[in-house]
Amino acid sequence: MVIPGKPQNVAVIGAGILGASIAWRLAQRGIRVTLIDKGQPGHGASSHSFAWINAGAKQPIGYHNLNRRSLEMWRRFAAGIGDDGDLDSVGLRWGGKVSWESDPVAAEALVARVRQLQSWGYPTRLVDADELERLEPALEIGPVAAAEYSPNEGQVEPQMVVDACLRRLREIGCEVIAGAEVHGFEQDDDGRVRGLAIASGSRDVDAVVVAAGTETTRLAALAGVNVPQAESPGVVIRTDPLQPLLSNVPVVYAPPLGDGRREIHLRQCADGRLMIGEGDQESLAEDDSQDHADDLLTRACHYLPGLAGARAVPVPVGWRPMPLDGYPVMGFASEAPNLYVALTHSGVTLAPALSQLAAQEICDGMPADAVLGPYRPQRFAGLTPDEVAAATHPRATRLR
């Protein structure tokens, strides 16, 4: 579903990492872009993100490949938006990820996953305890039943990415409107969006991108478009700023400490604060208390003794934008043919690729079906309640 001719005047609703990236890509293509956010740009899910850039945790292979394509685009994307091409100005840091298991059953799963990724040509490999210690001497690893190193993975700072996109947009004269909620669409008889209703009045548009994160479902519904989501709360706490602790490998997944506990993951931000979460990238968590933050810090300290004396800073629950089946929703809607939906989990990893693909589809009118075909909004049309239940991501506690 494409619009004929290149639109001149496009509004992007939502200035998280995905919307800001799409706005920048569109502006690069000569489009007059207006980027609108109801709050502060970057303060949605993007501000809660662990922001690990990876493809190793993604399946099946088609989705893994999309993430991998994006991972490999990050350096050039960051150079494009960064101040004078400086990767540090968006907090991009490579060096890989290590993970290990002390439990034999969990170790078997880790080895099987590494073997699968290797069969997909992904540069991950098994390492022994000695190599793990050499890779990241700051870690106190304890017993190791199996360990893995993925050297191509990294991290970035979503707020710095959003801020950089906004700077570039403003430099070329695009409008960024913060604190303005879009609360409706003016549509013609064919469903095409002609204008947006925002607090300060209406704005005419040739096309609109809805990149409103968890709010995408509610907003798209106002234009008659069904984009179902699952609720997916997550908690990643922070410490106060510390001197650099991890010298080589920025992203660490360490095994559970005791039965019934989950693994923890940690990384150090550009400002020196450590981020600590538990479980995997999609684990549900709603405890944002000081006690829980203290507990996470204690567990992290076990593996990273340099954390001793740090202060745990709780962070409120973050809600992941989570399409019903867990996969991206990208493309023009049938019900509103010039409304482009951009909703995804793993949006930090995926921002470079999805923004490039969205801008290309919007500007060139040629669907990138070979890549985005499985991720169209149309896949949710006319689902019965049973089909919705069957399609629902296994981690979804309830529908949004």
- Enumerate binding residues for ligand FAD (CB under 6 A): 13-19, 36-39, 43-46, 48-52, 158, 181-182, 211-213, 215, 219, 234, 236, 281, 318, 320-321, 344-349
Minimum gap (Å) between residue 22 Cβ and ligand FAD: 9
The one-character DSSP state at 193 is E
User: Least separation, in Å, of the C-beta of 347 and ligand FAD?
Assistant: 3
| Residue 211, helix vs strand vs coil | coil
Q: DSSP label at 384?
A: -
- Least Å from the CB of residue 111 to ligand FAD: 23
In whole angstroms, give the CA distance from residue 399 to residue 338.
Answer: 27
- The CB-of-273 to ligand FAD minimum distance in angstroms stands at 15
Residue of minimal CB distance from ligand FAD?
A: 16
> Of the two residues 6 and 69, which places its CB atom closer to ligand FAD in the complex?
69
Q: Of all helices (H) and strands (E), which one includes residue 303? A: helix 290-303
Q: 60: cis peptide before it, omega within 30°?
A: yes
| Minimum CB distance to ligand FAD, residue 378 (Å) | 20
Pairing assessment for the beta strands 32-37 and 9-13 based on DSSP bridges: parallel
- Closer of 44 and 255 to ligand FAD (Cβ): 44
Give whichever of 22 and 31 is closer to ligand FAD, judged by the CB atom: 22
Are the CB atoms for 167 and 146 separated by under 8 Å?
no
* Least distance in angstroms from the C-beta of 104 to ligand FAD: 27
Residues of 138-175 as b/e, b for ≥16 C-beta within 10 angstroms?
bbebeebbbbbbbbbbbbbbbbbbbbbbbebbeeeebe
Q: Which is nearer to ligand FAD, 80 or 365 (CB)?
A: 80
DSSP code of 196? Answer: E
Here the tokens at position 354 are 């999805």
**C-beta atoms surrounding 31 within 10 Å:** 22
In which residue are the tokens 């913060």 written?
178
How far, in Å, CA of 50 to CA of 265, rounded? Answer: 9
Helix 61-81 crosses helix 158-171 at what angle (to 10 degrees)? 50
Angle at CA 63, nearest 5°, toward 235 and 113?
Answer: 75
Measured from the CB of residue 183, what is the shortest distance to ligand FAD in angstroms?
A: 6
Cβ proximity to ligand FAD: between 185 and 303 the closer is 185
By beta-carbon proximity to ligand FAD, the closer residue of 7 and 44 is 44
Nearer to ligand FAD, 50 or 303 (CB): 50
CB of 313 to ligand FAD, least distance (A): 15
Q: Which is nearer to ligand FAD, 133 or 288 (CB)?
A: 288
Decide whether 6 or 75 has the Cβ nearer to ligand FAD.
75
How far is it, in rounded angstroms, from Cα 145 to Cα 147? Answer: 7
How near is the Cβ of 277 to ligand FAD at its closest, in Å? 7
